Structure 1
Amino acid sequence: NQTDSYAVVSDLTHSKYSVWTFLKCIFDHHDLSGIEEIHVFTDNCAAQFKSRYVISNLCFLEDDLGLKLTWNHFAASHGKGAVDGVGGVVKGKVWIASKSRKVVVNSAKDFYECATTECDKINILYTPKEDVEANRSILDARFSRALEITGIQSYHSFRRADETHVYARQTAVSKETKISFTAFSKTETEIY
């Protein structure tokens, strides 16, 4: 069991397109041989991580990555969560280096180079906008069929059920109720 912290630097705003590209960048950075399942923990931001688009993409991630993936969302912590701490450390160290005139940061690439030097315990990765754009067409095809997920904010753990459904749970450890809903065709919600 190992925990690694990552910060992905880019020259784009975070969107439904960038989430998959950044995640793939992190997975490409690792040797995944021998790993069968990954648990992703992100914040609760609907614009980035907790949307029908990102959740519907779970139906494809097993095939894309060749492993099982469970996506867990932290409760809203309004800038005080672990992921915010990692980003805060990176931003703080780059700000100190820039303020002390050790480096001039004028671009995302400059930020990445400084962060790589200043943050030795955090894996810093750079993803240019071209990488995000390269994934846009395949993601658009997937996202175009994603239906709205009623009550998505009440769920905090998701995993693939099959090619058109994901399982959702109220909490990551909840075993009482698993709700299966389709991401691509309208069917009734099933409770297991």
Structure 2
Amino acid sequence: MMVALVHHSPDDDGRHETDAWVFVSSDPNHDFDFHTYAMDIILQYYITGDGRAATAGTPIPKVHIFTDGCAKQYKGKRNFHAVAKSLHRLDAILIHNFAVTSHFKGAHDGIGGLLKALLREAEKRGQRIHDTQAAADFLKAYAEAKEDGGGHFSTWSPYRIKRFHIKLLGHREIPRR
């Protein structure tokens, strides 16, 4: 499971919104290819997809990415090449910020832990979650129930999560280079 938080101001009007993206996959390799594929889905959503209101106020969207310093996922030549070619490839400028070891612990880690705990608790109560499809379906139902219940997933944080995007990535869906 990969969790990403996206902070944005729709239509550049000063309102702050946070969306959570959760990628559920049976692919055991959460490597550069996995993360790049997931990030491309997120970026396309906000640049040309349904979430384009978040970048409508700027001619060339600038995207700040904050990640840990995992060498396998982010600190290889392929990632630096992807960032350098982002304007040509995505029509956006990527700025990738790496955390020092044990930094950047925060809401994204907590959300991933919460969702895994919800899945474990559902199984303890007798719901069978036998594969990634069942896990994604359960998480989608949970997110939809929370959205219907008031529009935000928490009230205590200035970065309240407005929407959850749950995506199931098939084992062979991620292109490997």
Calculate the TM-score normalised by the size of structure 2.
0.65
CA contact (8 A) 1:21 1:131 kept: no
Counting aligned pairs with the same residue, the percent is 23
Change (3 A) 1:117 1:75: farther
Q: Tell me by how many angstroms 1:15 deviates.
A: 1.0
Q: Does 1:126 align with 2:168?
A: yes
Spell out the pairing of 1:49-60 with structure 2 (5 A cutoff).
49-60=74-85
d(CA) in 2 for partners of 1:109 and 1:14? 18
Deviation at 1:18, TM superposition (A): 0.7
Q: Could you tell me which amino acid in structure 1 is paired with residue 129 of structure 2?
A: V
Change in CA separation of 1:69 and 1:111 when aligned onto 2, cut-off 3 Å: same
Amino acid across the alignment from 1:23: M
* Secondary structure at 2:101 match in 1: coil
Provide the C-alpha distance between the structure 1 equivalents of 2:96 and 2:103, rounded to a whole number of angstroms.
19
Q: Which residue of 2 aligns with 1:9?
A: 24
- Structure with more contact order per residue of length (Cα contacts < 8 Å, sep ≥ 6): 2
2:117 pairs with 1:92: yes
Distance 1:44 1:97, change over 3 A: same
- Aligned 8 A contact 1:25 1:125 in 2: no
Provide the residue aligned with 2:141 in structure 1: 117
Unaligned runs of 5+ in 1: 141-192
Q: What is the CA–CA distance in structure 2 between the aligned matches of 1:109 and 1:90, rounded to whole Å?
A: 15
Unaligned 5+ segments in structure 2 are 1-8, 10-16, 147-152, 154-163
Matches within 5 A, 1:6-85: 6-12=21-27, 13-30=29-46, 31-32=51-52, 33-34=55-56, 35=58, 36-77=61-102, 80-85=105-110
1: distance between equivalents of 2:123 and 2:103? Answer: 27
Deviations 1:11-32 (A, max 9, x none): 1120111111111122233323
Q: Deviations over 1:154-186 (max 9, x none)?
A: xxxxxxxxxxxxxxxxxxxxxxxxxxxxxxxxx
Give the alignment's Cα RMSD to 1 decimal: 2.3
Contact 2:25/2:169 (<8 A) preserved:
yes
Matched, 1:106 2:130: yes
